[in-house]
Amino acid sequence: MTPPDAPHNRWSDLDRPPLNVTALRRGLLRPDGLWSELEVVETTGSTNSDLAERARSGDLAEGAVLIAEEQSAGRGRLERSWTAPPRSGLFFSVYLEPGDAVPVERWGWVPLLAGVAAATGLARAAGVDTALKWPNDLLVNVESVERKAGGILGEFAGEGIVVGLGINVSLRADELPAPTAGSLALAGAVSTDRETLLRAVLRSLEHWYGEWKAADGDAAASGLQAAYAAGCATLDRTVRAELPGGGSLVGEAVAIDGDGRLVLSTEDGLQKPVSAGDIVHLRGTEGGLT
């Protein structure tokens, strides 16, 4: 049998140590806290799919966290694949049940809330300025160029919603899946310790979820709407929205409305909200294409 620390073993990268599940549980699971269980698996297809399946079977409590050292079938928005080398990032999903206190029509804010939580947590723990591209891409600057370092995906399951996050932490330039991709390491992070980063993001998520839920899901009253707008790199730029089912809309992104939609001011002087779609940054204060 090949020793697990053999030089050619794909799990033996000393710069990418495994997560310590015992330490994570000790730091995050509290009787009065949101997080109820935390599991780390070596590999899985998709943490979102795994949690969603459990939620649909009724075998899941709010606050469950599932983390994978590697995902073989990770999914992003619009069913795009998300792959990365083992232990090179944070790949995890959480299960939340806003319950009857929050009207279902406000649940669409949960993935955006996760974006705010991730951006603020990473900025604090990694020392990297992390921005949001609407609706839920995480952007960092690599050599003054805006790059995607993470993404968020939410899906209804059971009595709640599963939110998955994928964040490139230590990916090197030759490992990036696309020219537009980046990582915290390439953005000059002061720390790429994944346990530190994961704790920061989950604590930030617990804080924002608590504030939003206490306000009955009112994004304005909880401060979530303002926080998202403040960290959104899409606002004040000319963008093209590729709409579901075909078609597109070009305009200046002027606001995030109370429903979490991106409001575009078009050439004909109208303001049109976009609730779903793929956004292309065409021009901004610094120019360029993203």
Q: Which CATH number fits domain 238-283: 3.40.50.10320, 2.40.37.10, 2.30.30.100, 1.20.1260.10?
A: 2.30.30.100
H-helix segments, 75-223: 109-126, 194-214
Distance CA 117, CA 57 (A): 28
One digit per residue, the tens of pLDDT, for the chain of length 290 reads 444 444 445 555 678 999 999 999 999 999 999 999 999 999 999 999 999 999 999 999 999 999 999 998 655 554 556 578 999 999 999 999 999 889 999 999 999 999 999 999 999 999 999 999 999 999 999 999 999 999 999 999 999 999 999 999 999 999 999 999 999 999 999 999 999 999 999 999 999 999 999 999 999 999 999 999 999 999 999 999 999 989 999 999 999 999 999 999 999 999 999 999 999 999 654 444 44
- In degrees rounded to 5, what are phi and psi of residue 110? -60, -45
Let me know: does 139 contact 186? Beta carbons within 8 Å.
Answer: no
Domains in the chain: boundaries: 21-230, 238-283
Fold for the domain defined by 21-230: BirA Bifunctional Protein; domain 2 (3.30.930)
DSSP 179-206: TTB--TTTTT-S---HHHHHHHHHHHHH
ω before 135 within 30° of 0 (cis)? Answer: yes
Query: Helix, strand, or coil here: 76?
Result: coil
Nearest to 72 by CA among 94, 96, 50, 39: 50
Let me know: does 36 contact 64? Beta carbons within 8 Å.
Answer: yes
Q: Looking up tokens 């926080």, which residue turns up? A: 227
